[in-house]
Structure 1
Amino acid sequence: MTVLASALDPAGADYTAHREAMLAKLGELEAEHAKALAGGGEKYVERHRKRGKLLVRERIELLLDPDTPFLELSPLAAWGSDYPVGASVVTGIGVISGVECLISANDPTVRGGASNPWTLKKSLRAHEIARANRLPVVSLVESGGADLPSQKEIFIPGGAMFRDLTRLSAEGIPTIAVVFGNSTAGGAYIPGMSDHVIMVKERSKVFLGGPPLVKMATGEESDDESLGGAEMHARTSGLADYFATDEPDALRQARRVVARLNWRKAHSDPGPAEPPKYDAEELLGIVPSDLKVPFDPREVIARIVDGSDFDEFKPLYGRSLATGWAALHGYPVGVLANAQGVLFSEESQKAAQFIQLANQRDIPLLFLHNTTGYMVGRDYEQGGIIKHGAMMINAVSNSRVPHLSVLIGASYGAGHYGMCGRAYDPRFLFAWPSAKSAVMGPQQLAGVMSIVARQSAAAKGQPYDEEADAALRAMVEQQIESESLPLFLSGRLYDDGVIDPRDTRTVLGLCLSALHTAPVEGARGGFGVFRM
């Protein structure tokens, strides 16, 4: 039997403490998500409603098939910056007329939907996901264009938005724009470069320059409707392919456009899948609040894979890394999960072989992070930890099957790279509220800086200020701790969202379904030189 046995004690003191700590972190996360849901605040939400307009998430809800999920991406974008949480745009994956699509929707209650640097980063990440997974893109547009005070940060890189739309179209991935209000200046190119365009009567306004700019540039007098209104674009310019009477009608027409795309997934959906044998609620009590305390990742695997069935690969070798085969919502996956934090030479070689096998079999890989990095020390350096760690990173870098990453505990140093961190292009990367990621742990980093400063003082023959050293270490520890937390990292789009552990199976299932829209093909060779 390959069904995992659980040693978790839900009645134990440790479990209770871990669960309470996780629930506290989830409370903090919910408070930050609420800021994104609030948009521009009560005043601007009310003003938007008085204009007879739907809110951004109401538009998305009407666009999606009834009772289907919406996987929102990067909801905490811009957290900790000078810009509102959420970055004035909502992105995510949902089902429209039976087709999984990438949806990008401006929130006009936040500075008129204007784009700031984090809006751009979030939108480009959404396009990246659409392109990698071959998901049709539906843009719900209502934006005044660039947030002008930040133009120096957005104008030059912002051209990538329009580049992406044309590249998606060139690759046969449909792009649809539904314009609800302003789409001015550079924003006019979103409908201009989309395959299908829907505009709303007396609401849509699409022009390169509005009446004031036209007056200043040419002296010409004009009004919004004749310059860029929906009816003009439907009757005269031809930019609008469909003319809607109101917002619900526009969303109805968008659903019809998607229904007529004749869009097919590369892979058929799998049949019914057996749920895990253990309660997802128990995921709250597995990860200790102190990440130095080890935990068994098989307890996590048992609560997310089909039937808790896990065929472990090399279970007696390289035991700090659990590798094996499973299914998740019917989709086959290869799982790599850190067991005791540190990666040794054996774990690195085991991982490289396992990744090659997954590529031979065209099986996506799931990385569950809890690592402090590769082992250091004289014996390990002499034993080849550099070349063995490089072997694992080489395999991850050149693997061509889709990768999914979930940071559940620590993800430090080069271990973050070997476990397919953001820089290694996982199709999707999520974090639990318990996760931390940095070049190394706060205490280790502060200690290294202290040792270097102490050695420098000794080399110069100067006395060492112990009091200043203690203050420096405390400051560095505090800084690194705050910069390694999931809210901070998610705000910078280093993940695609911080999720409730109980939702892990659902989130991964949605991702696996989406990525199977595109072909799943592994590398056949082409891994570069493995140093032996």
Structure 2
Amino acid sequence: MTSTADLSGTLRSALDPTAADFAANRAALLARIAEIDRAHAEALAGGGPEYVARHHARGKLLARERIELLVDEGAPFLELSPLAAWGTAYPVGASVVTGIAVVEGVDCVVVAHDPTVRGGASNPWSLRKTLRADDIALANRLPLIALVESGGADLADQGEIFVPGGRAFRDLTRLSAAGVPTIAAVFGNATAGGAYVPGLSDYVVMVEDRAKVFLGGPPLVRMATGERADDESLGGARMHGTTSGLADFVARDEVDAIRSVRRVVARLGRRRLGAEPGPVDEPRYDAEELLGLVPADARVPFDPREVLARIVDGSRFDEFKPDYGTSLVTGWADLYGYPVGVLANARGVLFSAEAQKAAQFIQLANRADVPLLFFQNTTGYMVGTRYEQAGIVKHGALMINAVANSQVPHLTVVLGASYGAGNYGMCGRAFEPRFLFSWPNARSAVMGPDQLAGVLSIVARQAAAAKGREYDEERDAGLRHEVSTRVVRESVAEFLSGRLYDDGVIDPRDTRAVLGTCLAAVHSGPVRGADGYGVFRM
């Protein structure tokens, strides 16, 4: 059944929580959530119990404990990329914690090294995760707070870190030049390249008798120059506070350092450049029901209006062109008091009408300076002789052009499938949405696993026929199985999130809260639409 709206624009749900398929869907999604939770637990464990205990025994706080003290009481912390490096040789979480926090009433980006994982040393995925946090800070004009305790780059991986790692230095200077404050609190080591994090920050807090900031530690100095130096005289907090001038504040302990950071933020005089939110009212339907909405079989479509009814304010949705291009739902809503434009896949395939409808709607949102929410569940644009002759290429290009050149903030959630160019047209990672999150059941690849394996099989058959060779059916079956299995493995939410193709895998029940946090963040900066577009092929 399809949900509808009454004359006031309030969505009426057709979902039946007592139905058998609802229970089956709920059980399947809860199982996927449990799998994601286990992956998250690996990141939360840091370097493991031994290293956590050793860190605490030294009187030090863990990365997330520092963040908990930093964030305003009762305010949320939206952790970003918690599954970074999943499925690789590196620890899940990539030895750094990043996210959006409210500090003294100001939305900030936080980057905190996890010293229980190889001393907080940076590996290739740590770098990617940190650079993503820098991008978010700059795009949304959010102050960047670095909680530093790191030995710098993991030297075993220097070949993959050294050259791209320079961008982290560049980002700090560009943030400052753009008027986005940067604050570093140093709790322990900040050596070698890591010394430039405080060196390039606007404000620096260092913990007495704990923080050490130097380009080369005592062993390196001795090897390079023959000088024998101790940690304190070479780079201790007191020395930097009294002699070099690098430290703006020398804290007595970690709690005092966090207090100093909060006072710096309080004195920044930050003001939001976007719109203030209007009145907020809760959806009329329970977010818990989202668990039974998504079919266990990813090939079965579902009505995104049912999702919207459990996410947007008051379950109110003013649909745009409801009877045209019906595979794509477009319309206007509010979320936590912020006006938004919505594009959501109703059925997997995008046709020419949907592409044209989307392009017009995106232009309208840009004219009105309204952020756009993309809810992906698409198998891509339609193929076949009839559709090619009707112009699916140029119409799909029209939609992609509109998305690519739109200037209002984009927020994307992958609800289910995200295949082919549909991923692009619905603002996938390559199109730089301000934020992108996935539900645990999300899948993304160039096409479905069976389709991809079948295409390769057809190509192989044609090649064999062209050469007059007999086709090996047994080998073909093995090839199809191998390809299909690999595509399935590489298209699941954990794999994609591990490679930072999203900003996190979220519980569907948290979607409203996550998007609300993101909308508050994007309105820290100006929200303005595009003044023009590239050439639209009509």
Superposed CA offset, 1:45-73 (max 9, x none)? 00000100011111001111111100000
Q: Aligned partner of 1:120: which letter?
A: L
For structure 1, which segment, 286-295 or 239-248, has the greater mean C-alpha deviation from structure 2 after superposition? Answer: 286-295
1:471 aligns with 2:478: yes
**1:200 alignment counterpart:** 207
Superposed CA offset, 1:116-146 (max 9, x none)? 0000000000000000000000000000000
1:268: Cα distance to partner?
Answer: 5.1
1:272: Cα distance to partner?
Answer: 3.4
Local SS of the residue matching 1:496: coil
Local SS of the residue matching 1:122: helix
Q: Aligned partner of 2:55: which letter?
A: H
**1:248 alignment counterpart:** 255
Q: Aligned partner of 2:119: which letter?
A: G
Equivalents in 1 of 2:161, 2:293: separation in Å?
Answer: 42
1:290: Cα distance to partner?
Answer: 1.2
Superposed CA offset, 1:459-517 (max 9, x none)? 11111111111111011110000100000000000000000000000000000000000
**2:196 alignment counterpart:** 189
User: What fraction of aligned residue pairs are identical, expressed as a percent?
Assistant: 72
Aligned equivalent of 1:286, options 293, 306, 309? 293
**2:140 alignment counterpart:** 133
Aligned equivalent of 1:148, options 147, 155, 158? 155
Aligned equivalent of 1:528, options 528, 531, 534? 534
How many equivalent residue pairs?
Answer: 531
Equivalents in 2 of 1:402, 1:97: separation in Å?
Answer: 25
1:328 aligns with 2:338: no
Equivalents in 2 of 1:230, 1:356: separation in Å?
Answer: 53
2:278 touches 2:338 (CA, 8 Å); kept in 1? no
Q: Aligned partner of 2:533: which letter?
A: F
Equivalents in 1 of 2:319, 2:503: separation in Å?
Answer: 28
Equivalents in 1 of 2:278, 2:58: separation in Å?
Answer: 46
1:267: Cα distance to partner?
Answer: 2.9
1:30: Cα distance to partner?
Answer: 0.4
Aligned equivalent of 2:351, options 344, 353, 358? 344
Q: Aligned partner of 2:317: which letter?
A: F
1:65 aligns with 2:92: no
Local SS of the residue matching 1:295: coil
Equivalents in 1 of 2:297, 2:371: separation in Å?
Answer: 31
Give the alignment of 1:411-490 within 5 angstroms.
411-490=418-497
Equivalents in 2 of 1:291, 1:236: separation in Å?
Answer: 63
Aligned equivalent of 1:124, options 121, 125, 131? 131
Residue 441 to residue 531, structure 1, CA distance change in 2 (3 Å): same
Equivalents in 2 of 1:35, 1:399: separation in Å?
Answer: 38
2:191 touches 2:216 (CA, 8 Å); kept in 1? yes
The two structures have a TM-score, normalised by structure 1, of: 0.99
The runs of 4+ residues in structure 1 deviating greater than 4 Å are none
Superposed CA offset, 1:77-128 (max 9, x none)? 0000110000000000011111110000000000000000000000000000
Aligned equivalent of 2:231, options 221, 224, 227? 224
**1:502 alignment counterpart:** 509
Equivalents in 1 of 2:412, 2:297: separation in Å?
Answer: 21
Aligned equivalent of 1:276, options 283, 295, 298? 283
Question: Alignment RMSD, CA only?
Answer: 0.6
Q: Aligned partner of 1:233: which letter?
A: H
Aligned equivalent of 1:24, options 17, 27, 31? 31
Local SS of the residue matching 1:186: helix
Aligned equivalent of 2:51, options 44, 53, 57? 44
**1:515 alignment counterpart:** 522
Local SS of the residue matching 2:108: strand
Aligned equivalent of 1:166, options 173, 180, 196? 173
**1:318 alignment counterpart:** 325
1:7: Cα distance to partner?
Answer: 0.8
1:269: Cα distance to partner?
Answer: 3.3
Local SS of the residue matching 2:418: strand
Local SS of the residue matching 2:148: strand
Gaps of 5+ in 1: none
Equivalents in 2 of 1:443, 1:319: separation in Å?
Answer: 27
Equivalents in 2 of 1:273, 1:98: separation in Å?
Answer: 19
Equivalents in 2 of 1:409, 1:64: separation in Å?
Answer: 33
Superposed CA offset, 1:277-329 (max 9, x none)? 10000011111121111111110011100011000000000000000000000
2:95 touches 2:126 (CA, 8 Å); kept in 1? yes
Equivalents in 1 of 2:422, 2:127: separation in Å?
Answer: 29
Aligned equivalent of 1:101, options 101, 108, 111? 108
Local SS of the residue matching 1:25: helix
